[in-house]
Amino acid sequence: MTSAELFSLVKSLVLGFLCGSVPFGYLAGRIKGIDIRTHGSGNIGFNNVLRVAGPVLAIPVLILDVAKGLLPTAFATSLGLTPALVGLGAILGHVFTPWLGFKGGKGVATTIGVSAFLCIRSLAAGLGVYTIVLFVSGFISLSSVVFGVVLPVFTAVFYPGDISLLVFATVVGLLIVLRHRANIKRLLRGTEPRLGLWLRLFRKQQ
């Protein structure tokens, strides 16, 4: 590998990281007049923003967190960069945002944005599983963990022989699972909160 190629790879990661590092969930909390990190689970992602601030702020956060993964990845080639590395950088920037002491979100929404460009078929299958798990269990966290597990599996199925995509999906999937360690512990203890809409639907059936 030449020094120019190495510089291009590093540039891809750095640009993606900077794009992904914008903490939209934290900014949404500030709009509401709170520090989202001191409420709910303390996470700056969609799930906690939804729980603490409601859908009016949470839905834009979700869209923007997806967009900050999708857009830089989609434009990477036109900038002479490597899309997979730009996408990985965006996810890492979201998870380890330097603007909040390298403590960010859990990476699911940004992974969806990146995967929408890199591996749409495995993303679609993974989101299908996510939806089923969410509908059955009512746990966004459990659905996210399962999504992280199945994403590399579906990538191997739908993109056989594409080692770079498989490595990307495996690294990102593992990162999602690791970022949900606290949620997994609460799930095992039976203290993890369910999605409010699921609870309301469930109670209507009783």
Looking at every residue in the chain, the average pLDDT score rounds to 92
Q: What pLDDT score was predicted for residue 47?
A: 85
- Residues 138-181 pLDDT 10s: 899 999 999 999 999 999 999 999 999 999 999 999 999 999 99
Residue 122 in tokens: 């495995």
The domains of the chain are located at: 8-100, 119-206
Q: What percent of the chain has pLDDT over 70?
A: 95
Cβ contact 171:165 at 8 Å: no
d(CA 2, CA 161): 25
The mean per-residue pLDDT over the stretch 77-101 comes to 96
> Phi and psi at residue 118, in whole multiples of 5°?
-80, -40
Which DSSP category does 107 fall into?
A: S
Cβ pair 100, 23 in contact under 8 A: yes
- Other beta carbons within 10 angstroms of residue 170's beta carbon come to 16
- pTM of the model as a whole: 0.92
pLDDT digit string (tens) for 33-85? 999 999 988 999 998 998 899 899 999 999 999 999 999 999 999 999 999 99
Cβ proximity of 86 and 93 under 8 Å: no
> Alpha-carbon distance 40 to 204, whole Å?
26
Confidence of residue 5 (pLDDT cuts 50, 70, 90): confident
Four-residue CA torsion sign, 8, 67, 168, 141: positive
| Nearest CA-CA partner of 116 in 70, 154, 148, 72 | 70
Distance from C-alpha of 159 to C-alpha of 122, rounded to nearest angstrom: 8
CB 122 within 8 A of CB 169: yes
